[in-house]
Amino acid sequence: MKGIILAGGTGTRLLPLTAVTSKQLLPVYDRPMIFYPLNTLIGAGIKDILIIVAPDHSGHFLNLLGSMFHKFGVNISFIVQKQPRGLAEAFILAEDFIDGESTTLILGDNIFEDDFTEAIQSFTSGGRIFAKHVADPERFGVVEFNDQNEVISIEEKPTMPKSSFAIPGIYIFDKEVVSAAKSIKPSERGELEITDVHKYYLEKKMLDVRVIEGAYFDTGTHESLFEASSYVREHDFRSRFHPMVNDAIAEFNAEFKKAVSLKK
């Protein structure tokens, strides 16, 4: 299983914060946002992780994460996405990295309370996505279930949602996802929509959808970023992080402080 974190985009809704660094490097309480999706992947045992970044602040990611996890056996690599063309483009950009294996893609600005370890480690083939009951499903891809809890439709940001179950930003696919992404056409927005990848697997009856219950934050606005920071502080998310991630952060902090003291 490979892991991909999509951390590109311009983050215009968070200006002026994103004028100086990437959205995914902004703090969520006591650590940069990127550590939350990293923790999800590392906690599930994924050792090969690709981070897709925008060109303007790519060096910031490298300075922070370039060698942080190397001694722990986690390999992190980077690809620069010059212009975002939809979430599904991530699989095309990452074709060589995926190299015929299954992949978990997680959005760099999504924070989850749920533990996805079992869902990732038990995955064998097809596609596996998740559904979360939300108050504003029109902002998301929306999944509709029948009375037997089977998926019958998926829509991207519908004006009249058929359900209140949004599809949050974590997706698990087998090696066919690259072909699926290449087969879809750009939407009216000019983007390769991730929901079209979902539909590709749904039509083949190879899509598994699991409902999640824990807190979920899409931290793309000032308000949601504040809410996420408050929640992780109040619920002590630090204690839920994989020990390897906490150790890597502590070691980075110590080395940084040492380097600063030597300059004085």
199-220 burial code (b ≥16 CB/10 A, e <16): bbbbeeeebbbeebeebbbbbb
Spell out the residues 6+ positions from residue 256 whose beta carbon is closer than 8 angstroms to its own: none
Identify which of 98, 33, 40, 37 has the alpha carbon closest to the alpha carbon of residue 60.
Answer: 33
Residue pLDDT, tens place only, 152-200: 999 988 999 999 999 999 999 999 999 999 999 998 888 899 999 999 9
Q: How confident is the model at residue 139 (pLDDT cuts 50, 70, 90)?
A: confident
Residue 138, domain member (yes or no): no
Structural domain count, the chain: 1
Least confident of 77-86, 142-151, 231-240, 255-264: 255-264
Question: What are 45-74's pLDDT values in tens digits?
Answer: 999 999 999 998 999 999 999 889 999 999
pLDDT of residue 46: 97
In a domain, 133, yes or no: no
| pLDDT at residue 123, rounded to an integer | 97
Please tell me the predicted confidence (pLDDT) of residue 47: 96
Is residue 136 assigned to a domain? Answer: no
Percent of the chain scoring above 90 in pLDDT: 78
Q: What residue spans of the chain are helical by DSSP H? A: 35-43, 58-65, 89-93, 95-98, 117-121, 177-183, 194-203, 222-234, 243-263
Residue 146 counted as domain residue: no
Residue 263: pLDDT above 80?
A: no
pLDDT band with cut points at 50, 70 and 90 for residue 148: confident
Residue 161 lies in a domain: no
- For residue 186, the 8-state DSSP code is P
Query: Where in the sequence is the domain holding 74, given as residue range(s)?
Result: 2-125+169-177+203-263
Contact indicator for 57, 81 with CB cutoff of 8 Å: no
Q: Is 35 part of a structural domain of the chain? A: yes
pLDDT at 189: 83
Single-letter code of the amino acid located at 42: I
Angle at 68 between CA 67 and CA 70, to 5 degrees: 60
pLDDT value at 262 more than 80? no
Q: In CATH, what number is assigned to the domain containing residue 231? A: 3.90.550.10
Confidence tier at 149 by pLDDT (50, 70, 90):
confident
| Whole-number pLDDT of residue 105 | 98
pTM: 0.94
pLDDT band at 150 (very low <50, low <70, confident <90, very high): confident
Residue 144: inside a domain = no
Check residue 52 and give its pLDDT: 97
